[in-house]
Structure formats: C-alpha cells, structure tokens
C-alpha cells in the first residue's frame, strides 16, 4: 500500500437517510478508484461496506465502515454511516474526524426525518456539506423538487453545482456548472464524454451558473473583487471559492449521481480532490488550547474515534493522525491514563479487507489492533505532550430507557459483561447497574437500537434476554411529626434478645428549630447519597439505653431509609430523636436494638402522614408546526405542565415539566406521532409530591408485589 502525503489525502463521510444509496455510492467510488474490480450490492449481500452478519441479514447499515479509494494520484478516505437515526453515534464519530460530509439524498421523495437528523449532526460539528442528489436513474426521480425541499429545509446556501439533463431510467448526462460542460457518462460509469452545453440548456445553465458564481465569489474578498472586475470566475477560481465557502458553511453545493450505474461518480471524486477541504484546512483544538492542523512536523498525536471487535482479529481501534507521522512499532502515551501503547500493527482499511502499512502520515485515517488500554475518544501522543487530548466527541444523550434481564439468572453476570463490551463499541449504549432500582438499566437511541442489541444476544452470544419497564426512583418522606416505640424481645434458651426504643420523628428542613421536649445530647447529620438528609439525635438521659447501642439503632433506621416503609424506595429529609428505651442486663445486644430502631422508625414513619415524591424532568420537544397539536395532546396526557412554546424555523419547540414515570417509551410515541421528525431532550429538575390517586396506586402495587414475594 502506498504511503500518502498529507497533501494527497481527503476524508469524507457519507451521511443521510436510510435507503438514500450511501452504501451503493461507496461501492461505486471504490470501483472507480480500482480498489475493487467488481461492484457488489446491498441486494446481493456482498457490498464492501455492509459486511457484518446483521447488515447482510437485514440489508441495511448498522455500523459505520471505513474504506478508501484512490483517484488521480490521491487517496480519499470514506466512512459510510448508517441511515437510521438509532445509529446516530456512528455518524457523530465519523463527523468528528472528516473534513467533508456528503449528505446523500434520494431524488424520488422529499427530505425525510433521517436526512434532517444527519443535517443536525453536521451542524453540531460545523462540517462542510456537499449534497448528493442520488438515484437520478429512478423512474420517479425529480431533481427540481429535491432542490426545492433541500432549500426549504436547509437554507438558500444550498446551491446547484450540477443538474441532470435526462433524469429517469435513461439518466446518463449532467450539466456541470463548475466546468461549464455537459458530461455524458457510459452505462457503467467511468470517465464521461465532455461536451459543449446544448443550446436547449444554455438559458437554464446561465441562470444557475450566476447563482453558483456569486456564492463561490463570497469565499474571499479577493475572489469577490475578481468577480466584480470580470463578471465571472475561472474554473480554478470557482474551485477555490467553493472550497473556501464549504469550509465556512457559506455554500452547500449539489452534485448529481446514480450510484447504482456509476453515473456522475468519477466527476464527484474529481470534485472531492479539487474543491473539498483538506485535512490542513480543518484544525482541531485540544483541551489545553493547542491547535493541530495535520502538519507532519507537529508533535505526534492521533485520536481514536471508533472501536470494533472483528472475528480472528479482536479489538480494532480506528484513528486519525492530527500531527506528525505514525510508524509501525511506535511507542505513544495515552493522555487519559498515562499508559504507554505500542502500535505494533497498522492497517489501511476497506471494509473487512485490511492491508498492513508501515507509516501513517498526518491527516490520514487508519486502524491498529490489540491496543492494551485504549478506547474510543482517547488520544495517543508523543511522550513530550503526554497531557494533550481533544476531549469527548460529544455523543448524543440516550432517548429510550429499559430494564434488561437474562431469562436464566445464571446468565446475568455474562449479560452485564457483554453489555459493557457493547458500550466500548457503541458509546451511545449506556449500561447502569442500579442498586436503588435493583435492575440493570439499558439506555439507547430508540427501539431499533434496542432491537439490534437483542439481535446480537440472540444470534451471536446465544443468551436469551428480556426488556422490562424500568422502575422509577421514587423518594419517601413525611409531612408531620409522630411518636413510636417498639420492643424487640426474643427468648429461645440461653441468652435472648431484648431492646426497646422510643423515638420522635419530624420532617427535616434547613435551620429548623429543635423540639424543646428533648435534651439533645448529640446530633449526627447524614447527607444521603440519593439526596436529602437524615438527622439523628441522641436524647437519652439517665442511661435508659447505653451509648454503645446507639450506632445499632442508627443502622436499623438507615435500613429503612434505604428501603422506605411505603414502597421500598429511598427515604429522605427526616429528623429522628431517640428519647427513651429499655435494656436488659443480659439479653440486650446490637441486633436487638437495630431491629427495635428499625421497626419503631417504620411505625413512626407511617404515622407521620408520609408522602411519595417522584422525579420531574424539564423536557424540550421539537416538532413540525403541523404536528404540534398531536404532540401537545400526547404530552399533556402524561401529566405534563406546559411551560411555553417557541418557533424554530418550520418547527415548534414545546417546553414542559413532566414526571419521569410518564415517559416510558415516549421516544416511540413521539416518533409515531411525527413520522420520525420529532426530537426531544430531558434534564432532571426536581422531586415533587405525587398526586393522591397515584400514591394510592403505588402503595397498592407495592403491597401486591410483597405478597407475591412472600
């Protein structure tokens, strides 16, 4: 494999909606560059990109795939990303390391929800975008309507750089406004015949060329001056203007392809080489402020953006070099943990095909295998800059939550280990072992995401797992004061058990006055790990309970704070006063007072007008204007309190506060209501008391569950 210089490298990501033809386009790009000698296809299950078993079976991309092609003496790294929004983490990781996003659209339909999602991700990374109007050989292809939709959704900087002459089943000719020529392609792609623009197309060409030239001229003041002087730009000036405009997201050119037949692909590769931003044109700033621009004489630094596990290879780390050059056998330092890593095997990747390479220059993307302790988002650096890193990629927060359990309890530990390994491969898979809920909580990007995880358990790991509604982390507290006492007495031959505790409890608030009835001898303030406080007051006088038994009483109370008397949820914000009790000179011991303290606390708690509190979240829901009514009705049916609304282009954003208990599977509901266009974010706000009817139902459900356990 040739070692390419930084100046000979371009990096692109294919993003866009499902069924837009990204994988087919990648296949044609590799074929045009002679990296493969025969084109595969999704339908035939033999494409370079979709090589994982799940992708072959389902005939859609699940994982992003790194590939490359070689064209006109240059290397173009290509990352083909999945189209479904559930796999958005793959798109995010790809956009973090490429200089240009090729947003592929299907010209026989409008802009769908997955295309909008891909665009939003490009905005987050401020990525240059080149639109690809694909599938122009489809009988229902409509280029003009596609352009109208793109501009309506993404703004008037979406600029036609090519348009089809004969869109439809016989599509083979394109008017190229940069070259100002008509390109007529052979049936199976390849280099086009370059022709003068037909007389019948000149008026349309002149009109569209003017818009392209004006937008290109805005790339720099120098180009604008040349445009004013000459009323036009040369081809080289056009290329420079488009490149500068793309880099600042001031222009989004549209190119035309039919990926299946290869029409337009060779010209697309030529445009990427000449006009898309280079690695040196997209600097990346480290957390310490240092800017890396993919220069060979900079200190060595690479960023790992993806991790996978491949058959017969093990763990594979995909990285981009931002400074210096990587040579096989180099020792670098992981800036996260300070550990040394030796890059013993470097490989250039084209799907599952891998080829060893001795050197990877700045700006290039490659892979290494079997690194010891390096994961996605880590940086490996020259020991001289061992503390330099780029920080997190910025994966999206999960939008769906479920509890997961293996059908056979003996598989639970193995299941947990597999889920943690899955997180290493896909950072949008979040796994939490909740001590509070006594559940393993799995979070992801949607139903399809969760179904994909289950597919791997069913077909690869052969472990049967089930999803359940996650429990809600309720809190229990009290609203008034109460007294209680409890005597624990047990005699079974020999030494028995005896302990009697009298206590008074009241709600805790900051700076609350202490009751005057009890002489407080000692106070312990405990901040609970789950929020709130427990104030434990020793008010014993006259030796009614020996001081050595107070820790045991506290322990008994803490057991009920950990498993509240009402629903087994955490309790909080309570002041306890131990003011009296009794001991036995022989039978009293720690276990006796722990049980006495526990049962006395439970009784007092239930007499203190207890209440259950639930977590309430701030939610921001973004929906198309014409779907706002349905979204409002749905969220209000979830006990939401609407806080306001605001416009966001053709969308409306609903702000509300909603109990977490009502949000189970909300992502699925919103997607159904809005045809996949609605999105939302949630952030924790506070705990609030549940309504009376809800509390009654929770108490009933808990009692029934306890009876079943008994």
Kindly list the domain boundaries of the chain, sorted by start residue: 6-281, 284-385, 400-468, 476-608, 612-693
Q: Are strands 570-571 and 475-478 parallel, antiparallel or unpaired?
A: parallel
Query: What integer is the mean pLDDT of 460-475?
Result: 96
CA distance 135 to 144: 14
Is 507 in contact with 478 (CB distance < 8 Å)?
yes
For residues 324-347, average pLDDT: 94
- pLDDT recorded at residue 109: 78
CA angle 158, 265, 206 (to 5 degrees): 45
Residue 272: name the closest of 178, 196, 195 by CA. Answer: 178
Nearest-angstrom CA–CA distance, 164 and 192: 14
Please compute the mean of the pLDDT values over residues 159-186 and round it to a whole number: 96
Pairing of strands 533-538, 574-582: parallel
CA-CA distance, 631 to 152, in Å (whole number)?
23
Q: What is the pLDDT of residue 707?
A: 78
Buried b (16+ CB within 10 A) or exposed e, 610-633: bbbbbbbbebebbbbeebbeebbe
Question: What is the C-alpha separation between 454 and 402, in angstroms, rounded?
Answer: 12
Same fold? 284-385, 400-468: no
For 519, residues 6+ apart whose C-beta sits below 8 A from its C-beta are 539, 541
Give the separation between CA 565 and CA 607, rounded to whole angstroms. Answer: 11
Residue 511 has pLDDT above 80, yes or no: yes
What pLDDT, on a 0 to 100 scale, did the predictor assign at position 62? 95
Provide mean pLDDT across the span 343-363: 93
Task: Return the sign of the alpha-carbon dihedral for residues 525, 529, 533, 534.
Answer: negative
Is residue 324 within 8 Å of residue 300, measured between CB atoms?
yes
| Domain 6-281 grouped into CATH 2.60.320.10 | no
SS (H, E, C) 587-622: CCCHHHHHHHHHHHHHHHHHHCCEEEEEEEEEEEEE
The region, left, alpha or beta by phi > 0 then psi within -120 to 50, assigned to residue 494 is left
Quote the CA–CA distance of 213 and 202 in Å, as a whole number. Answer: 16
Q: What number does CATH give the domain 476-608? A: 3.30.230.10
Distances (CA, A) of 236 to 196, 271, 449: 19, 12, 45
Going along 246-287, which residue ranges are E strands? Answer: 252-256, 284-285
Is pLDDT at 517 greater than 90 in this prediction?
no
**CB–CB of 279/363 below 8 Å?**
yes
Q: DSSP letter at 459? A: I
Q: Percentage of residues in the chain with pLDDT exceeding 70?
A: 99
For the record, the structure tokens of 88 come out as: 């958005």
Q: CA-to-CA distance for 558 and 650, rounded, in angstroms?
A: 53
Phi and psi at residue 234, in whole multiples of 5°? -75, 170
Secondary element (H or E) of residue 356: strand 353-356
Q: 124 and 154 in contact (C-beta within 8 Å)? A: no
Distances (CA, A) of 549 to 562, 582, 593: 20, 11, 7
**Residue 512 DSSP one-character state:** P
Q: What is the pLDDT of residues 521-567, one digit of tens each?
A: 999 999 999 999 999 999 998 889 999 999 999 999 999 999 999 99
CB contact at 8 A, 309 and 295: no
d(CA 624, CA 316): 41
Q: How many CB atoms lie within 10 A of CB 683?
A: 9
| Cα distance between residue 602 and residue 330, in whole Å | 64
The CB density around residue 431, as the number of other CB atoms within 10 Å, is 18
Pick among 2.60.120.260, 2.40.30.10, 3.40.640.10, 3.40.50.620: CATH of 284-385: 2.40.30.10
Angle of CA points 526, 531, 534, to nearest 5°? 30
Q: Residue 294 carries which DSSP code?
A: -
Structure tokens that stand for 102 in this block:
């090729």
What span, in angstroms and rounded, lies between the C-alpha atoms of 143 and 165? Answer: 10
494 pLDDT more than 80: no
What pLDDT band is residue 231 in, cutting at 50, 70 and 90?
Answer: confident
Q: Which residues sit opposite 356 in a β-bridge?
A: 347
Answer whether 658's CB lies under 8 Å from 641's CB: yes
Per-residue confidence (pLDDT) for residue 312, from 0 to 100: 78
Per-residue pLDDT at 493: 66
Homologous superfamily of the 400-468 domain (CATH):
Elongation Factor G (Translational Gtpase), domain 3 (3.30.70.870)
Query: What is d(CA 330, CA 332) in angstroms, rounded to the nearest whole number?
Result: 6
State yes or no: pLDDT of 512 exceeds 90: no
Token digits of residue 347: 């490989």
Give mean pLDDT, residues 61-85. Answer: 96
Q: In 144-273, at which residue ranges do the beta strands (DSSP E only) sit?
A: 158-160, 162-164, 173-176, 181-184, 193-195, 252-256
Instruction: Specify whether the CB–CB gap between 147 and 153 falls below 8 A.
Output: no
Biggest CA-to-CA distance, the chain: 113
- How confident is the model at residue 704, as a pLDDT? 86
Measured CA to CA, the distance from residue 409 to residue 415 in angstroms comes to 10
Residue range 412-456, pLDDT digits in tens: 999 999 999 999 999 999 999 998 999 999 999 999 999 999 999
**How many residues would you count in the chain?**
710
Mean pLDDT of 645-670: 95
547: its two tokens: 């001081």
Q: 285-294, 651-660, 699-708 — which is least confidently predicted?
A: 699-708
Give mean pLDDT, residues 246-250: 94
Residue pair 560/600 in contact by the 8 Å Cβ criterion: no
Burial 268-290 (b: 16+ CB within 10 A, else e): bbbbbbbbbbbbebbebebeeee
Strand duo 129-134 + 100-106: pairing: parallel
CATH for the 612-693 domain, from 3.50.50.60, 3.30.479.10, 3.30.70.240, 3.30.565.10? 3.30.70.240
Of 27-31, 310-314, 454-458, give the lowest mean pLDDT range.
310-314
- When the pLDDT of each residue in the chain is averaged and rounded to a whole number, the result is 94
Q: Is the pLDDT of residue 710 over 70?
A: no
Output the DSSP codes for 115-142.
HHHHHHHHHHTT--EEEEEE-TTSTT--
């Amino acid at each position: 494999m040739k070692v390419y210089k930084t100046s000979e490298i371009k990096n692109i990501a294919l993003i866009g909606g499902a069924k837009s033809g990204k994988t087919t386009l990648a296949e044609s790009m590799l074929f045009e560059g002679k990296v493969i000698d025969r084109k595969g296809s999704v339908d035939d299950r033999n494409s370079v990109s979709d090589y994982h078993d799940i992708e072959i079976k389902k005939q859609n991309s699940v994982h992003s795939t790194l590939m490359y092609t070689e064209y006109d003496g240059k290397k173009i790294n290509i990352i083909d990303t999945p189209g479904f929004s559930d796999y958005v983490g793959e798109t995010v990781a790809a956009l973090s390391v490429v200089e240009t996003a090729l947003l592929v659209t299907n010209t026989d339909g409008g802009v769908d929800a997955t295309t909008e999602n891909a665009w939003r991700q490009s905005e987050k990374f401020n990525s240059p975008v080149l639109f690809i109007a694909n599938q122009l050989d489809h009988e229902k292809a409509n280029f003009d309507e596609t352009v109208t939709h793109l501009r309506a959704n993404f703004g008037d900087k979406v600029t036609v750089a090519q348009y089809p002459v004969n869109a439809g089943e016989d599509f083979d000719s394109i008017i190229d406004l940069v070259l100002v020529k008509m390109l007529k392609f052979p049936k199976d792609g390849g280099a086009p015949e370059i022709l003068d623009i037909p007389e019948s197309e000149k008026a349309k060409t002149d009109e569209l060329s003017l818009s392209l030239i004006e937008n290109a001229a805005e790339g720099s003041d120098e180009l604008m001056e040349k445009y004013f002087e000459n009323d036009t730009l040369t081809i080289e000036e056009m290329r420079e203007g488009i490149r500068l405009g793309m880099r600042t997201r001031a222009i989004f050119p549209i190119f035309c392809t039919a990926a299946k037949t290869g029409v337009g692909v060779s010209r697309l590769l030529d445009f990427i080489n000449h006009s898309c931003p280079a690695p040196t044109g997209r600097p990346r700033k480290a957390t310490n402020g240092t800017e890396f621009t993919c220069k060979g004489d900079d200190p060595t630094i690479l960023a790992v953006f993806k991790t996978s596990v491949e058959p017969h290879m093990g763990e594979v780390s995909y990285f981009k070099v931002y400074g210096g050059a990587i040579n096989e056998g180099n020792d670098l330092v992981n800036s996260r943990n300070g550990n040394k890593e030796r890059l013993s095997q470097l490989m250039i990747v084209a799907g599952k095909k891998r080829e060893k390479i001795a050197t990877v220059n700045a700006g290039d993307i490659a892979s290494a295998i079997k690194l010891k302790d390096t994961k996605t988002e880590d940086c490996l650096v020259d020991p001289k800059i061992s503390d330099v890193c780029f920080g997190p990629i910025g994966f999206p927060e999960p939008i769906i939550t479920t509890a997961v359990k293996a059908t056979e309890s003996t598989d639970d530990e193995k299941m947990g280990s597999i889920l943690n390994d899955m997180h290493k491969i896909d950072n949008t898979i979040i796994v939490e072992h909740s001590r509070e809920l006594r559940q393993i909580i799995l979070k992801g990007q949607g139903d399809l995401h969760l179904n994909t995880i289950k597919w791997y358990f069913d077909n690869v790991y052969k472990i049967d797992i089930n999803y359940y509604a996650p429990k809600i982390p309720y809190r229990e507290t009290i609203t008034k004061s109460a007294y209680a006492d409890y005597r624990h007495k047990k005699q079974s031959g020999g030494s028995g058990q005896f302990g009697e505790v009298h206590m008074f409890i009241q709600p805790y608030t900051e700076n609350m006055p202490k009751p005057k009835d009890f002489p407080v001898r000692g106070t312990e303030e405990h901040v609970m790990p789950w929020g709130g406080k427990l104030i434990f007051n020793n008010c014993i006088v006259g030796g009614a309970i020996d001081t050595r038994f107070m820790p045991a009483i506290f322990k008994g109370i803490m057991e009920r704070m950990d498993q509240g008397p009402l629903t087994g949820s955490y309790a909080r914000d309570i002041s306890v006063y131990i003011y009296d009790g009794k001991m036995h000179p022989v039978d009293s011991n720690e276990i006796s007072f722990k049980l006495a303290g526990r049962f006395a606390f439970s009784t007092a708690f239930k007499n203190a007008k207890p209440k259950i509190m639930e977590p309430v979240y701030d939610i921001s829901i973004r929906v198309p204007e014409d779907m706002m009514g349905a979204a409002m009705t749905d969220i209000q049916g979830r006990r939401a309190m609407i806080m306001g609304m605001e416009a966001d282009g053709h969308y409306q954003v609903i702000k509300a506060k909603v109990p977490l208990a009502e949000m189970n599977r909300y992502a699925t509901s919103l997607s159904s209501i809005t045809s996949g266009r609605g999105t939302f974010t949630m952030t924790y706000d506070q705990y609030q008391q549940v309504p009376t009817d809800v509390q009654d139902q929770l108490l009933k459900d808990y009692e029934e569950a306890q009876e079943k356990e008994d």
